[in-house]
């Protein structure tokens, strides 16, 4: 059982027409776990919309909500994303409500493209944030005064927490629970949800292998070669030569095709390969570093810390450990 905590925190979820249903339902499920298992309940959960009643999600299903009251005070506000953000960004009532409500909350959070609403309301000016990778370019164009960290699962900047797409909302909610109730409660909640492993905010929001064919497939053969030759010369100049392009044009076109720079892409491929070797083999870190092109184990360790939030050996221990029994919902 979870250990008891005396404070009940009010968590409000703000939705709108065309919201992504998992952006709300995922975090709600996370906060439900300690609420079901602790006494007194650590959280009071409420779904709000501007007008209340059923709100239609982008999938066609509806979620019931309460009308957002004037003067509402919350511990934590979580704003959903979804296709409906495009209309909500231009809704003066929504913008005014966000600015007003955020001023009375301890934490203001967004899931997926909900970051667009926070930014449109002026709440992320001069701050770091993230959003769904597919809408990162549009975000940077619309809100250049926000420091977008496009490949992060979630980002915390003061009282503002933003997260990437859909399931990253679960990672965000688990991080919020840990911030409130500690690591032990969070791990128990993750087990109840049958979440294999809570991802740290610094981890990339998508698997590289899911991200390599986003556009025309122009660089598919080159990417396949890089994946098989991570220890070779994979500098921009070398890759441009293999692609029969000038380095400058190659870097520009590659970013347009994949959404990231060649150097960052190569590092992600190396990290994916290194992590698989760390977790699934008994190879030494020195050998893994050589095989994946990091060369120096310390360089590999620093990359793991920056992206995964943990050193290689910690991930190896986790992969070899047992998670214990898990109960469903």
Q: What is the pLDDT of residues 283-321, one digit of tens each?
A: 999 999 999 999 999 999 999 888 777 899 987 886 665
Point out the domain boundary residue: 127, 159, 192.
Answer: 192
Residue 166, Ramachandran bin (φ over 0: left; ψ between -120 and 50: alpha; else beta): left
What's the total number of domains in the chain? Answer: 2
110 exposure class (CB count in 10 Å sphere: 0-12, 13-18, 19+): buried
- Decide if 198 is inside a domain: no
User: Looking at the domain assignment, is residue 3 inside a domain?
Assistant: no
Q: What is the mean pLDDT of residues 115-129?
A: 97
Q: In this structure, are 185 and 215 located in the same domain? A: no
- In a domain? residue 267: yes
pLDDT on residue 4? 44
In the predicted model, is pLDDT for residue 117 greater than 90? yes
Token representation of residue 177: 């629970």
| CATH code of the domain in which 242 resides | 1.10.10.60
Domain assignment present for 32: yes
- Residue 194: pLDDT band (50, 70, 90) is confident
Residue 242 structural domain: 208-319
My answer on whether 124 and 261 are in the same domain is: no
- At 21-49, the pLDDT tens digits run 999 999 999 999 998 888 889 999 999 99
| CATH classification of the domain holding 187 | 3.40.50.880
pLDDT at 322: 37
- Whether residues 111 and 185 share a domain: the answer is yes
In this structure, the answer to whether residues 136 and 15 fall within a common structural domain is yes
Confidence of residue 328 (pLDDT cuts 50, 70, 90): very low
Same domain, 181 and 224: no
* Whole-prediction pTM: 0.66
Does one domain contain both 72 and 158?
yes
Residue 282, in any domain of the structure: yes
pLDDT (tens digit, 9 = 90+) per residue, 71-116? 999 999 999 999 999 999 999 999 999 999 999 999 999 999 999 9
Residues 48 and 174 in one domain: yes
pLDDT band (50, 70, 90) for residue 323: very low
The domain boundary, picked from 149, 167, 192, lies at 192
Residues 184 and 214 in one domain: no
Task: Say if 271 falls within a structural domain.
Answer: yes
Q: Considering only 89-93, 220-224, 233-237, 240-244, which range has the smallest mean pLDDT?
A: 220-224
Q: Are residues 89 and 168 in the same domain?
A: yes
238 located within any domain: yes
Q: Are 43 and 8 in contact (CB under 8 A)?
A: yes
pLDDT tens-place string over residues 135-155: 888 999 999 999 988 767 889
Q: Identify the domain boundary among 159, 192, 225.
A: 192
Residues 170 and 254 in one domain: no
Q: Which residue has the higher pLDDT, 183 or 65?
A: 65
Residue 54 lies in a domain: yes
Surface-to-core class of residue 171, CB atoms within 10 Å of its CB (0-12 exposed, 13-18 middle, 19+ buried): buried
112 is catalytic: yes
Cβ count within 10 A of residue 70: 8
The reply to whether 28 and 175 lie within a common domain is yes
Q: Which of 59, 109, 112, 329 is catalytic?
A: 112
CA distance 168 to 174: 10
**64 and 180 co-located in one domain:** yes
């Amino acid at each position: 059982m979870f250990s008891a905590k005396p404070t009940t925190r009010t968590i409000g979820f703000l939705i709108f027409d065309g919201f992504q249903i998992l952006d709300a339902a995922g975090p709600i499920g996370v906060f439900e776990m300690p609420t079901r298992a602790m006494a007194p309940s650590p959280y009071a959960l409420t779904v709000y919309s501007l007008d209340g009643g059923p709100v239609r999600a982008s999938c066609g299903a509806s979620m019931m909500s309460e009308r957002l009251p004037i003067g509402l005070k919350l511990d934590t506000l979580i704003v959903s994303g979804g296709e409906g953000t495009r209309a909500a960004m231009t809704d003066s009532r929504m913008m005014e409500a966000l600015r007003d409500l955020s001023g009375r909350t301890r934490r203001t959070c967004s899931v997926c493209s909900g970051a667009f609403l926070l930014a449109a309301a002026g709440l992320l000016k001069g701050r770091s944030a993230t959003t769904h990778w597919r809408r990162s370019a549009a975000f940077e164009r619309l809100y250049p005064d926000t420091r977008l960290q496009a490949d992060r699962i979630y980002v915390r900047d003061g009282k503002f927490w933003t997260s990437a797409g859909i399931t990253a909302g679960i990672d965000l909610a688990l991080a919020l629970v840990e911030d409130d109730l500690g690591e032990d409660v969070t791990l128990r909640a993750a087990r109840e949800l049958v979440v294999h492993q809570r991802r740290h905010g610094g981890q990339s929001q998508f698997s590289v292998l899911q991200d390599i064919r986003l556009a025309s497939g122009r660089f598919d053969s080159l990417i396949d070669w890089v994946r098989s030759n991570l220890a070779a010369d994979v500098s921009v100049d070398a890759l441009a030569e293999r692609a029969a392009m000038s380095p400058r044009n190659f870097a520009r076109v590659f970013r347009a095709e994949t959404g990231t720079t060649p150097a960052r892409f190569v590092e992600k491929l190396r990290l994916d390969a290194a992590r698989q070797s760390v977790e699934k083999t008994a190879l030494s870190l020195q050998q893994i570093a050589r095989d994946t092109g990091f060369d120096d184990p310390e360089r590999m360790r620093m990359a793991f810390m920056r992206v995964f939030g943990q050193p290689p050996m910690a991930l190896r221990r986790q992969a070899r450990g047992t998670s214990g029994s898990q109960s469903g919902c």
